[in-house]
């Protein structure tokens, strides 16, 4: 089977250190699914904005939600060009010169046109997915979403028209002429690690964490836990 990839255009082509770029679905989606937080960029009345928000993916469609009264939501609901970016910092790279200092990272940049989800069934399904994609099956144990909550929340979707991933995952790139300059060089790994859960003071006696939280083991990497929840959700 031919590997699916996003089309390459001047908009999404990786120009600087192009060998770090990838356009295949598997790489781009893997970076997206290992994150919860993204940044959505758009232009409103000539002013650029970049808004952090929680996102989730179904196929080549990205979703996010917010208050129906939100300036961002109201603008994106009109159907505008947007750029959604997810990034993971994986390491600090220290070289013998400031010029060669770098970072190891994984990033995905997605372009498309936004639209408001207006179909009531799709909207409700995506509001539930906003929970279950990160905590598989959790919505079944929660108090049901009320009509007022549905009305107060808007869901935006964006078909990924073009996308690119860019990854640096290597060591120090010192210049040969820097020789053995006497300073420490190397890579300091960076990870976001889950801590021990802190129960609410209002928790009813005898309640324990359920299977929906099984991936969130203290000491585990967050990106690995999120990638697992997305996989579990996708399997149904």
- Residue 91 pLDDT exceeds 60: yes
Average pLDDT value over all residues in the chain: 94
- pLDDT, one tens digit per residue, over 137-179 is 999 999 999 999 999 999 999 999 999 999 999 999 888 888 8
The set of residues, in sequence order, having a beta carbon less than 8 Å from that of 216 and lying 6+ positions away, is: 194, 197, 225
In order of their start, the domains of the chain are: 18-88+104-170+194-235 (2.30.110.10)
Q: Which helix (H) or strand (E) holds 228?
A: helix 222-235
In this predicted structure, what is the pLDDT of residue 234?
Answer: 85
Q: With contact defined as beta carbons under 8 Å apart, do 40 and 51 qualify?
A: yes
Query: 225 in helix, strand or coil?
Result: helix
Specify the pLDDT at position 2: 64
pLDDT in tens, 5-23: 999 999 999 998 898 999 9
pLDDT in tens, 202-233: 999 999 999 999 999 999 999 999 999 999 88
Over the stretch 43-64, which tens digit does the pLDDT of each residue have?
Answer: 999 999 999 999 999 999 999 9
HSE (CB half, 13 Å, CA atoms) of 105? Answer: 14
Neighbours of 60 (CB within 10 A): 17
Compute CA distances 29 → 17, 106, 147, 201, whole Å.
21, 12, 32, 38
Within a 10 A sphere around the Cβ of 199, how many other Cβ atoms? 9
Q: Are 112 and 74 in contact (CB under 8 A)?
A: no
pLDDT band, residue 236 (cuts 50/70/90): confident
Q: Residues in the chain, how many?
A: 236
Whether this prediction's pTM lies above 0.85 is answered by: yes
């Amino acid at each position: 089977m031919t590997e699916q990839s996003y089309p390459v255009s001047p908009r999404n082509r990786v120009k600087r250190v192009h060998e770090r770029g990838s356009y295949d679905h598997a790489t781009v989606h893997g970076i997206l699914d290992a994150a919860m937080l993204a940044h959505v960029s758009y232009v409103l009345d000539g002013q650029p904005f970049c808004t952090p928000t929680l996102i989730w993916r179904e196929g080549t469609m990205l979703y996010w939600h917010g208050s129906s009264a939100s300036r961002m939501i109201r603008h994106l609901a009109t159907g505008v060009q947007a750029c959604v970016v997810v990034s993971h910092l994986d390491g600090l790279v220290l070289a013998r010169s400031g010029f060669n200092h770098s970072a190891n990272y994984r990033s995905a940049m997605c372009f498309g046109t936004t639209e408001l989800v207006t179909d009531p069934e799709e909207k409700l399904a995506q509001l539930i997915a906003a929970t279950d994609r990160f905590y598989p099956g959790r919505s079944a144990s929660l108090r049901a979403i009320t009509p007022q909550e549905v009305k107060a929340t808007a869901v935006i979707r964006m078909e990924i028209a073009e996308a690119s991933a860019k990854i640096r995952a290597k060591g120090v790139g010192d210049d040969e002429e820097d020789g053995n300059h006497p300073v420490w060089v190397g890579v300091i790994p960076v990870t976001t690690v889950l801590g021990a859960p802190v129960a609410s003071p209002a928790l009813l006696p005898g309640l324990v964490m359920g299977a929906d939280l099984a991936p969130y083991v203290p000491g585990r990497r967050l990106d690995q836990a999120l990638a697992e929840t997305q996989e579990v959700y996708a399997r149904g």
